[in-house]
């Protein structure tokens, strides 16, 4: 399997144009396919990712707020998941998906929905740590390794990039895209809050 840093950016671009899938989904599919564009497209279609991007711009004004309490009241989760219509919001399949998301958040403790929500100061602090660890290496080598470490960081703290607790080989983003394809509507995990009894409360800025 090719590592992400070895994937030709032009191949990623071509796959995105053909499938409307996200950047990281295309990189993963190309890595899994050994750089074969047709196989990568088939992988995306199998996972329900291809075509989901076409729905991403559609308004999601319906949905539900769901809660989950775990460990005898020690952990609690609130999550808002949006969809396009009230019909889907009341659909049992959609609600089971939202329940799975609350269970995952309780267990995996993500800090953000996506990498776009990670503060730039946090990213720069992580980057500085990685660069300091490799200060004796060549600049081009450092750059590639740092990007790989940042991808690993995102997969730890970003909900959409975490492996689903019920199926670690599938990311939450892949699970979401499969549900979009299944229900035929855009679905958005908008926000969540996770509480743990006794955890420090962040100071107000």
Q: Domain map of the chain by residue range?
A: 4-50, 55-115+158-196, 119-156
* Weakest mean pLDDT among 81-85, 138-142, 143-147, 171-175: 138-142
**Residue 53 has what pLDDT?**
54
- pTM comes to 0.71
Q: Confirm if 159 and 103 have CB atoms less than 8 A apart.
A: no
> Would you say domain 4-50 falls under CATH 1.10.3720.10?
no
**Residue 58 has what pLDDT?**
66
**Residue 173 has what pLDDT?**
93
Which CATH architecture group holds 55-115+158-196?
A: 2-Layer Sandwich (3.30)
Q: What digits encode the pLDDT tens for the residues 69-116?
A: 987 899 999 999 999 999 999 999 999 999 999 999 999 999 999 999
- Alpha helices by DSSP H, listed for the chain, are 9-19, 23-32, 37-46, 52-55, 86-89, 92-108, 120-133, 139-157, 172-183
Highest mean pLDDT among 44-48, 130-134, 165-169: 165-169
Greater pLDDT, 3 or 195: 195
**Residue 3 has what pLDDT?**
44
Q: Residue 199: how many CB atoms within 10 A of its CB?
A: 9
Residue 3 token pair:
């590592």
Please tell me whether residue 63 adopts helix, strand or coil conformation. Answer: strand
Q: What is the CA radius of gyration of the chain?
A: 18
**Residue 5 has what pLDDT?**
44
Confidence check: pLDDT of 50 > 60: no
Q: Residue 86: how many CB atoms within 10 A of its CB?
A: 11
Cα gap 112→200, rounded to integer Å: 17
């Amino acid at each position: 399997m090719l590592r992400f840093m070895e994937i030709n950016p032009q191949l990623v671009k071509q796959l995105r144009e053909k499938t409307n899938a996200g950047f990281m989904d295309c990189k993963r599919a190309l890595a899994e396919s050994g750089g074969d564009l047709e196989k990568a497209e088939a992988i995306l279609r199998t996972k329900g990712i291809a075509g989901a991007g076409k729905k991403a711009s559609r308004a999601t004004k319906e949905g539900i707020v769901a809660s989950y309490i775990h460990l005898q009241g020690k952990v609690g989760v609130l999550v808002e998941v949006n969809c396009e219509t009230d019909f889907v919001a009341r659909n049992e399949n959609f609600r089971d998906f939202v329940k799975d998301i609350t269970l995952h958040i309780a267990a995996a403790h993500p800090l953000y929905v996506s990498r776009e929500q990670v503060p730039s100061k946090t990213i720069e602090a992580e980057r500085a740590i990685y660069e300091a660890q490799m200060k004796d290496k060549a600049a081009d080598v450092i750059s590639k390794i740092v990007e790989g470490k940042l991808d690993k960081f995102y997969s730890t703290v970003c909900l959409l990039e975490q492996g689903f607790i019920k199926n670690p080989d599938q990311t939450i983003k892949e699970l979401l895209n499969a549900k979009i394809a299944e229900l035929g509507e855009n679905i958005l995990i908008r926000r969540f809050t996770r509480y743990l009894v006794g955890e420090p409360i962040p100071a107000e800025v």
